[in-house]
Amino acid sequence: MLSWWARRSCVHRCPARPWLVCLTTPEAGVTAPKTADLFAQDGVPHLTSGSPREWAVDPSWDAVLTPFWQGSVGRSLQARLEARLTQGAIIYPPHPLRALALTPLSSVRVLILGQDPYHGPGQAHGLAFSVSTGVRVPPSLRNIFKELQRDLGQALPTEGCLEPWAARGVLLLNTCLTVEAGQAASHAGWGWEVLTDAVVEAVASSAPACVYLLWGAHAQSKASKIEVCARSHGHEALLLSSNHPSPLSASRGPQPFLGNGHFSQARNWLAARGYPLHWAL
């Protein structure tokens, strides 16, 4: 089958918890806490084991995960996670592979690539851009909701949990899957990127028709990998790119996130191929 390609928005390639206060006021005679300690709130779920046996996933991903965990990069990653946990590090999210638990490989119709989990208390729960019910919606996710409202006329969601999307075949995948409290990108380069590249390749190799939403330069760096893999398997792929939804870039040219129309383009393209997609939250 011939592949169909479109990049209408990517002519140019350019990242149920209450909100918790992260700052404290030191009192006389009390040592001020370290930055990581400020983010390590009591009762906030965090990673407790570096063993992937503790992270349940849909069995459809086993062919991707098993070789990784048995290989040198996977073993090294487990060892580093266990070492940091032993040293008292607070690591988020509690279930790094939650995206693969909620969205089976055979169900993926849209892949949204993020970069790094949120590093504040109670925010990251294993889905890119998503936060648990009851957590204040972060700025990037607010812009995603603004574009959803502008593009499809939907009411602004009041909660930031994107699990309904995951259940409908939207794979919300960060390229790095753990982070230490208060330290953005602290686990970048540890090996997660090798695993998530394999996940992206598995989607491109198996999904007969899939939309890839590539927001920001980091996500767009995966475009050629996706194209080559999908084309070699005779699959259709729609790659849509724009700036990242961060307030720092959402309105900037030449590819502003706000106004990109990606949600309607994805919905209409999939519907034309017999795959209805509902973005309502």
Active site residues: 116
Q: 103 near 130, Cβ under 8 Å?
A: no
Provide the residue type at 137 as one letter: V
Q: How far apart are CA 157 and CA 143, in angstroms?
A: 11
Residue 10's alpha-carbon distances to 221, 255, 267, in angstroms, are 12, 7, 18
Which has the closest alpha carbon to 198: 156, 227, 168, 229?
A: 229
CB atoms within 10 A of CB 25: 6
Give the CA distances from residue 159 to residues 7, 17, 26, 163, 247, in Å, rounded to whole numbers and listed in that order: 31, 11, 33, 11, 19
For residues 215 and 256, what is the distance between their CA atoms, to the nearest angstrom? 10
Q: CA–CA separation, 57 vs 129, rounded Å?
A: 19
Query: Which amino acid makes up residue 97?
Result: L
Rounded Cα–Cα distance for residues 190 and 44 (Å): 24
